[in-house]
Amino acid sequence: MAIEPSLLDTCSTHLKTCLMNIHKVILKANEILCSISQPSVCSEVLLSSRGADYISGVVEVYRLSRRMEGGMRTRNIDCERLRLVLRDIDLSWNNFQAFLSICPSLLQTLPSQSALDYAAGGAFSDSSTCLQTCCGVCLLDRPVEEFPSEVMLDVGGRSYHPSCANFWIHCTNSTLPVLSCHNNCSACVKTKQGVLGVTP
């Protein structure tokens, strides 16, 4: 089921806001690495414990962009402005990986692109278009493969992956996003009927 035009615009604005902040984080990482003029010094920084932690954080930020792209594909959200931001993120990520090439051992720890394809081969239920049940940031409602034990946070009746909520609060807005679902959502209708004690 396609998302209604008005809701599509709300979702697109929400996604673009978060994706632009993801892009800023990766751009900043590129600027930091670019400012280190000597490869030996850059290598020393990257291989330090603080450097490794920083790289790990940037990887998780990029991972969120791929989760969001998976959520977009799952919910049939496709618009030019989002494609442009995702393209910019990928370009910055490729530059970031190029900087890491001076530390092959570190580069090898990065996840493969296939491991980050969150919409590949996923089996979703009939309620996969329901925005009440998915993560309010990335719009995915299935467990994240590399964190199968990750429990969704329930905030105000809405669900969020902890890592998604963490990025949103610290890098986007201090208030978590709340997206209303579309009018014809069968999952929401069933939920309302259950709450009200109404039988179909």
Q: Which structural domain range is residue 71 located in? A: 5-196
Spell 50-59 as b/e; 16+ CB within 10 A means b. Answer: ebeebbeebb
Query: What confidence tens digit (pLDDT) does each residue in 65-109 have?
Result: 999 998 888 888 888 999 999 999 999 999 998 888 877 777 777
pLDDT in tens, 118-158: 754 443 444 445 677 788 899 887 655 555 566 788 888 78
Nearest-angstrom CA–CA distance, 136 and 141: 9
- Residue linked to tokens 């599509």: 8
The whole-number pLDDT of residue 193 equals: 44
List helix spans (H) across 75-161.
80-100, 104-107
Question: Which residue is listed with tokens 């925005």?
Answer: 131
CB atoms within 10 A of CB 192: 11
Q: What values do phi and psi take at 77, rounded to 5?
A: -100, 115
Mean pLDDT value across residues 175-179? 85
Q: Is the dihedral of CA 139, 143, 148, 152 positive or negative?
A: positive
Q: What is the pTM of this model?
A: 0.80
With tokens 């978060």, the residue in question is 18
Structurally, the chain folds into a number of domains equal to 1
- The C-alpha atoms of residue 56 and residue 52 are separated, in whole angstroms, by 6
Q: pLDDT digit string (tens) for 13-29?
A: 889 999 999 999 999 99
CA distances in angstroms from 123 to 25, 63, 108, 133, 161, listed in the order given: 32, 20, 30, 16, 19
